Amino acid sequence: MAPTRIPTEEDFAALSPDLTISLSYPTPRESTTSILLLFHGLGDSDAPFAGFARNLTLPGVLGVSVRGTSPLPPALLGDSESTVARHFHWGDDLTLAPGGGGELDPDPGFEKAQRLVLDRLVRETLVGKCGWTTRDLLLFGFGQGGSFALGLASRLRGGGGGGGEGRVTELTDDETEKEEEEEVFKGVVSVGGPLPASMIPSLSAREKAKTPVLVCRGSESEAVDEDAVDVLREEFAEVKVVVWKRPDDGMPRSRDEVLPLMQFFAERLNTGWP
C-alpha cells in the first residue's frame, strides 16, 4: 500500500468519464484525516451534495460527492428536448416496482455502481493510490443513494468486489490480518434508504457487517418501514435508527434533524461536538 497522503484532483482524473465527483476540502487541506463519500438520491446530481458536505464543516474531513453512475432519460422527467443529462441514479436499470403503482423499483441492482465506486474509487484510488484504508471512510446517502451506501457496507463483508464475488488473492498471514482489519467503513448514514436485498451476500453463514450504521427516517416512512429496520439489524452488528417528527424522508431541515447526524459523525471521528 502507498504511503497515506491527501488526495488531489489529479488522483481522480483516471475515473473520468465513468465516474464524476465533486471535492470539498477542509481548511487547510493539510488537516484532512478522514474522507466522507456522499451519494445523492434518485434524479439528483453530485453538486448539491458537495454543498451539503461544505455546510457540514466536519473538522478534517474531505467531502467526495459522487455523481450517480447512470443518467435518467430526460423524457422520463418531461424534458424531451434536452440533450444534456442533469439527473442521475445508481441502479443497473430503470424498472417498475411490482404492484402496478407506477413507481420505480427501489432495488434495480447496483453492480455497475458498486464496481465503479467500491473497486475503482475506494480500492484503486483512495486505498491503493493514496494509502487510506476503508476505516478512514464515512459514507452518507439519501434515498437511493442511502440504499447504495448501506449496500456498499454490506458488500464489504468478505472482501466483496464489483461482481458481487469475493476477491481471491495470495496473501501472507500479516497481509491477511491487515486486509481483514481494513474491510470496514468508519460509518454509514442513510436518510430514507433501506438496505437493498441485491447487495446482501448470498452466503447463508455470513457474519453481520461491522460498519456502524445510522438510519434516519420520517415517522410515516414507506421506504424504511419496520421490516426494513429488521433487515438492517439482521445484517449489521451496530444499527441506530432515528425517527423524525415529520412524516416524510426528505433531507434534514431543522436542527433537531441534523443533530443526530452530527453526533454520529462526531462519535465516528472521535471528536467532541458542542
pLDDT in tens, 11-46: 999 999 999 999 999 999 999 999 999 999 999 999
When mean pLDDT is compared across 70-74, 139-143, 188-192, 241-245, the lowest value belongs to 70-74
Handedness of CA 146, 152, 157, 163 (dihedral sign): positive
Enumerate the domain spans of the chain: 9-96+104-269
Give the model confidence (pLDDT) of 60-70 as tens digits.
999 999 999 99
Task: Look up the pTM and report it.
Answer: 0.88
- For residues 75 and 88, the answer to whether their CB atoms sit within 8 Å is no
Question: How far is CA 143 from its chain centroid?
Answer: 11
Amino acid (one-letter) located at 268: R
- For residues 65 and 22, the answer to whether their CB atoms sit within 8 Å is yes
pLDDT for the residue numbered 176: 47
Mean predicted confidence (pLDDT) in 131-156: 97
Highest mean pLDDT among 1-10, 23-32, 92-101, 202-211: 23-32
**DSSP character at residue 34:** E
Distance CA 142, CA 42 (A): 9
Question: What is the CATH topology of the domain spanning 9-96+104-269?
Answer: Rossmann fold (3.40.50)
